[in-house]
């Protein structure tokens, strides 16, 4: 198997974009970093590509903001809107342009990124999601392009710039909050996808159950898309059980609205019959009836930090790989009640 730029980056302990800049003799790279990368290339037998322009950029001019594929939901989820607003605010301050990249699937997104890369019109990318087996991240790594992930890196974690929440801790604290209100039958409703934040929130919920010596029941965990009939059926079946959960941790405000709808359908009241704590603290949480208790993950700041980091690393390639954890907080409203 041919040696890739990712292999060199891993051995040298730098990002793929730094390797690319060394290959292009970028003067911003320190001599120590240059020698470490060159030594890794020699050890692995890495052959320079015929042409590689990615390292020639010394000051970033345009950032590509990559959204997950969706015909509609990515634009309806206020997490992305808040994050983009944070990115735009920093870009305006630092005189950097931005453009949004998305598509109906990951192949279409990749095609758009390839076009932007070949045209040289975008200098780096902010990815507003993190997932397993991502062809988009693979392409950016292979070509040494500068990128920041809002979320947790699935691979090359030591060489990937990440801005994230502690979703494991947040999931645990959400379940702990329900436990503190006297709930002992706590369910989990999460997104049906391969996004890493959702799996961490579910793991946090399960950890809370273990710490409080509550059974982890698979039938208490439902995963669905916000408009999925199959997920709604599973939720209906769970809520009709005699020993149904009295409270739910929900990984997203939009899913919490779906839970509210199903509860109303079978005449369960919130919070009298079912308490709900959701994530994101979006406009949906405030418009719900009753208003949702929510974990605020500070989407706006996630966007701000990602923009600052990609610009800083573009201007100074010798910066160490950055991992920033943005704090979360629980906002109490009317969707949770104390058990008698």
Question: pLDDT confidence of 318, banded at 50, 70, 90?
Answer: confident
- In terms of pTM, does the model score above 0.85? no
Give the pLDDT confidence of 1-48 residue by residue, as tens digits. 678 887 888 888 887 878 877 887 776 677 888 888 888 888 888 876
Which residues of the chain are in CATH 3.40.50.2300 domains? 5-165+301-329, 167-296
Most confident of 53-67, 144-158, 326-340: 326-340
Q: What are residue 246's phi and psi, to 5 degrees? A: -95, -5
- 97-100 long-range contacts (CB < 8 A, ≥24 apart) are 97/61, 97/62, 97/63, 98/62, 98/63, 98/64, 98/65, 99/62, 99/63, 99/64, 99/65, 100/64, 100/65, 100/67
Inter-helix orientation angle 5-12/135-142, to 10°: 80
**310-331 exposure pattern, b = at least 16 Cβ within 10 A, e = fewer:** bbebbeebeeebbbeebebebe
229 pLDDT above the threshold of 70:
no
Which CATH number is 5-165+301-329 given?
A: 3.40.50.2300
pLDDT at 19: 82
230 pLDDT above the threshold of 70:
no
pLDDT at 22: 81
Question: pLDDT confidence of 125, banded at 50, 70, 90?
Answer: very high
Q: How many CA atoms, within 13 angstroms, populate the side-chain half-sphere of residue 172?
A: 13
8 A C-beta contact, residue 296 and residue 329: yes
pLDDT at 2: 74
pLDDT at 298: 97
Question: What is 167-296's CATH superfamily?
Answer: Response regulator (3.40.50.2300)
Mean local confidence (pLDDT), 283-300: 95
Question: pLDDT confidence of 89, banded at 50, 70, 90?
Answer: very high
More confident residue, 71 or 322: 322
Mean local confidence (pLDDT), 119-137: 93
Instruction: Measure the CA–CA gap between 167 and 197, rounded to whole angstroms.
Output: 6
Instruction: Measure the CA–CA gap between 88 and 82, rounded to whole angstroms.
Output: 10
Strands 146-150 and 161-164 turn out to be parallel
pLDDT at 49: 60
8 A C-beta contact, residue 235 and residue 222: yes
Lowest average pLDDT, out of 54-58, 178-182, 285-289, goes to 54-58
More confident residue, 225 or 228: 225
Instruction: Measure the CA–CA gap between 329 and 335, rounded to whole angstroms.
Output: 16
139 token code pair: 């392409």
Q: What is the mean pLDDT of the chain?
A: 89
pLDDT at 51: 46
């Amino acid at each position: 198997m041919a040696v890739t730029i990712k292999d060199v980056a891993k051995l040298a302990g730098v990002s793929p974009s730094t390797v690319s800049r060394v290959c292009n003799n970028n003067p911003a790279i320190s001599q120590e970093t240059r020698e470490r990368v060159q030594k890794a290339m020699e050890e692995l037998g890495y052959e320079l590509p015929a042409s590689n322009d990615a390292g020639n950029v010394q000051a970033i001019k345009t950032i590509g903001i990559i959204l997950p594929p969706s015909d509609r939901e990515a634009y309806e989820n206020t997490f992305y809107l808040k994050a983009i607003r944070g990115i735009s605010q920093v870009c305006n301050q630092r005189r950097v342009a931005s453009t949004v990249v998305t598509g109906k699937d990951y192949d279409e997104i990749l095609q758009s990124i390839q076009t932007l890369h070949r045209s040289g019109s975008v200098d780096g990318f902010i990815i507003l999601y993190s997932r397993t087996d991502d062809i988009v991240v693979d392409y950016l790594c292979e070509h040494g392009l500068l990128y920041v992930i809002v979320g947790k890196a699935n691979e090359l974690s030591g060489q990937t710039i990440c801005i994230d929440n502690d979703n494991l801790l947040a999931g645990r604290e959400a379940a702990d909050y329900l436990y503190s209100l006297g709930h002992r039958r706590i369910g989990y409703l999460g997104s049906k996808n391969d996004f890493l934040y959702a799996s961490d929130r579910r793991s946090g919920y399960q950890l809370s159950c273990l710490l409080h010596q509550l059974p982890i029941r698979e039938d208490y965990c439902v995963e669905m898309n916000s408009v999925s009939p199959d997920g709604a059926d599973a939720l209906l079946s769970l809520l009709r059980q005699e020993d149904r959960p009295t409270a739910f941790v929900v990984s997203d405000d939009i899913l919490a609205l779906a839970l509210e709808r199903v509860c109303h359908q079978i005449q369960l009241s919130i919070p009298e019959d079912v308490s709900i704590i959701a994530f994101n603290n979006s406009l949906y949480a405030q418009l719900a009836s009753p208003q949702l208790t929510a974990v605020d993950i500070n989407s706006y700041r996630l966007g701000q930090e990602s923009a600052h980091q990609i610009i800083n690393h573009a201007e100074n390639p010798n910066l160490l790989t950055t991992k920033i954890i943005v704090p979360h907080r629980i906002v109490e409203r009317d969707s949770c009640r104390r058990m008698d």
